[in-house]
């Protein structure tokens, strides 16, 4: 798992005015809450006094109050503003602060930037050009999978599984002339992808009747950062579905996916429910395969797999992951897990670049540029 990217903490609607929310991301615990102005905040969840869970405390104005001894931490910067046991004039120690993360609320989600990069250096959130545009209908789907999120990312980037896993888009091996054509890689700043032509059957569901054009359909997918993907399904030159998946790695064995689908055909509200059912069915077909992949984590070395040309985008994705590891952004999860009963860590927030004196150590990271290229430790 990687620091220094935006991750979706929760749905905007889940974060109500007065109730803090416990959120797990990248194997660490966080509290999300809204202040008196409705602004969302995401803080490290572990109270630096004696380790209570802030998410199980109360929102007090613009701060979160710990349920154990009532210390209050400000949403804006995580600094402790009240220690009741010290009395009115007590001096609050400088180390009484928790990490507070940059937040943006967009696409109906609350995103937190989990890392310490200054604003100008942060990878951007994945853009959704269709958001707020006329002519697109939206359906949303939120799923929790018992799988490593990178296994799922690679599934989305894999054009060769469609023929076998998704009966609505392929022939399940029933076509003699099936092959995946040479893939053209689309390179972007924070990800790679591809679009290709699929030969697919007529779409059987009532919602999709008449949508597909003659001949093949153009489709493809790409990733943005380690945990987010886009998928375009062009059923005909005019009928397009554009899908975006924002994943939140809960830990290395579970993730939460927030999926948003836009369509520019059959945009009437009555079609939303059948479109949702269709997306859910497709996701389920993926889930049953991905949750059974072995090992649960991508193997430590690519020599333990046999990759072919249809796996090109997956190979490119792994190269990007390696680049982020080389920057020193990859969490050393093995180390963190080995200590988990004795020591809590915190994802470093930007304030750590300018302020000293933090009670929790930052999460251990694999050394920048340290790992041999092409070698991927099973730390993910
Ligand atoms: S543990 Fe939070 S106030 Fe004591
Ligand atoms: Fe799939």
* pLDDT tens-digit series, residues 245-298: 999 999 999 999 999 999 999 999 999 999 999 999 999 999 999 999 999 999
pTM of the predicted structure, to 2 decimals: 0.94
pLDDT of residue 377: 52
Each residue of 133-169: pLDDT tens digit? 999 999 999 999 999 999 999 999 999 999 899 987 7
CATH superfamily for domain 137-317? Naphthalene 1,2-dioxygenase Alpha Subunit; Chain A, domain 1 (3.90.380.10)
Which protein residue's CA is at the shortest distance from atom 1 of ligand 1?
50
Q: Is the pLDDT of residue 216 over 60?
A: yes
Q: Which of 337, 330, 334 is nearest to 367 (CA)?
A: 330
Burial (CB count within 10 angstroms: exposed 0-12, middle 13-18, buried 19+), residue 170? buried
114 C-alpha to ligand 1 centroid (Å): 24
- Which residue's CA is the nearest one to ligand 1's atom 3? 69
Q: Is 69 in the pocket of ligand 1 (CB under 6 A)?
A: yes
Instruction: Express each pLDDT in 76-130 by its tens digit.
Output: 999 999 999 999 999 999 999 999 999 999 999 999 999 999 999 999 999 999 9
Identify the three-state secondary structure at position 313.
helix
Structure token digits, residue 346: 């915190």
- For 78, counting Cβ atoms within 10 Å of its Cβ (0-12 exposed, 13-18 middle, 19+ buried), the class is buried
Mutation to probe ligand 1, out of 43, 52, 64 (largest number of atoms < 8 A from CB): 52
What tokens does 62 get?
A: 């613009």
Model pLDDT, residue 167: 83
Is residue 352 predicted with pLDDT exceeding 90? yes
Distance CA 298, CA 153 (A): 11
Helix ranges (H only) for the chain are: 149-156, 162-165, 272-290, 312-326, 333-338
Closest ligand by atom to 289 CA:
2
Q: How far is the C-alpha of 126 from the C-alpha of 128, rounded, in Å? A: 7
- The stretch 235-253 carries a mean pLDDT of 96
Ligand in nearest proximity to the CA of 56: 1
Give residues whose Cβ lies within 5 Å of ion ligand 2: 286
Domains of the chain: which residue ranges? 5-121, 137-317
State whether the beta carbon of 50 lies less than 6 angstroms from ligand 1.
yes
Neighbours of 93 (CB within 10 A): 14
Using pLDDT thresholds of 50, 70 and 90, give the confidence band for residue 43. Answer: very high
* CB distance 56 to ligand 1 below 6 Å: no
Q: Assess whether the C-beta atom of 219 lies below 6 angstroms from ligand 1.
A: no
* The two structure tokens encoding residue 302: 């690519």
Highest mean pLDDT among 162-166, 169-173, 329-333: 329-333
CB 71 near ligand 1, within 6 Å: yes
The pLDDT value given to residue 206: 73
Query: Among 3.90.1110.10, 3.40.640.10, 2.40.420.20, 2.102.10.10, what is the CATH number of 5-121?
Result: 2.102.10.10
- Among 259, 335, 326, residue whose Cα is nearest residue 318: 326
Give the number of whichever ligand sits closest to the CA of residue 83: 1
| Beta carbon of 47 within 6 Å of any ligand 1 atom | yes
Q: From the CA of 83, how far away is ligand 1's center (Å)? A: 9
């Amino acid at each position: 798992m990687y620091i220094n990217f935006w991750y979706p903490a929760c749905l905007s609607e889940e974060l109500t005015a007065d109730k803090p929310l416990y959120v797990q991301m990248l194997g660490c615990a966080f509290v999300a809450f809204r202040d008196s102005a409705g602004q969302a905040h995401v803080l490290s969840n572990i109270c630096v006094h004696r380790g209570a869970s802030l998410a199980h405390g109360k929102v007090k104005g613009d701060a979160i109050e710990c349920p154990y001894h009532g210390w209050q931490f400000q949403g804006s910067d995580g600094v402790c503003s009240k220690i009741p046991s010290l009395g009115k004039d007590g001096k609050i120690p400088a180390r009484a602060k928790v990490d507070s993360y940059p937040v943006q609320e967009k696409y109906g989600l609350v995103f937190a930037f989990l890392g310490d990069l200054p604003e100008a250096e942060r990878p951007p959130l994945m853009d959704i050009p269709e958001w707020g545009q006329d002519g697109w209908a939206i359906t949303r789907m939120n799923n929790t999978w018992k799988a490593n999120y990178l296994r799922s990312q690679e599934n989305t980037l894999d054009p060769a599984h469609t023929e076998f896993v998704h009966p609505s888009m392929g022939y399940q091996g029933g076509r003699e002339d099936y092959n995946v054509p040479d893939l053209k890689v689309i390179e972007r700043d924070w990800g790679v992808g591809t679009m290709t032509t699929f030969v697919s059957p007529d779409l059987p569901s009532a919602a999709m009747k008449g949508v597909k054009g003659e001949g093949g359909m153009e489709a493809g997918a790409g990733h943005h950062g380690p945990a987010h993907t886009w998928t375009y399904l062009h059923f005909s030159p005019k009928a397009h579905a554009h899908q975006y998946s924002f994943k939140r790695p809960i830990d290395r064995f579970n993730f939460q996916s927030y999926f948003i689908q836009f369509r520019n055909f059959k945009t009437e509200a009555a079609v939303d429910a059948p479109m949702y059912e269709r997306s859910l069915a497709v996701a389920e077909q993926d889930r049953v395969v991905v949750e059974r992949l072995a090992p649960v984590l991508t193997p430590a070395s690519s020599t333990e797999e046999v990759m072919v040309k249809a796996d090109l985008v997956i190979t490119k994705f792994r190269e990007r992951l390696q680049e982020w590891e080389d920057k020193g952004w990859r969490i050393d999860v093995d180390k963190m897990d080995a200590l988990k009963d004795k020591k809590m860590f915190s994802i470093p927030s930007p304030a750590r670049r300018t302020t000293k004196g933090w009670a929790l150590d930052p999460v251990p990271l694999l050394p920048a540029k340290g790992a041999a290229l092409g070698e991927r430790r099973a730390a993910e």
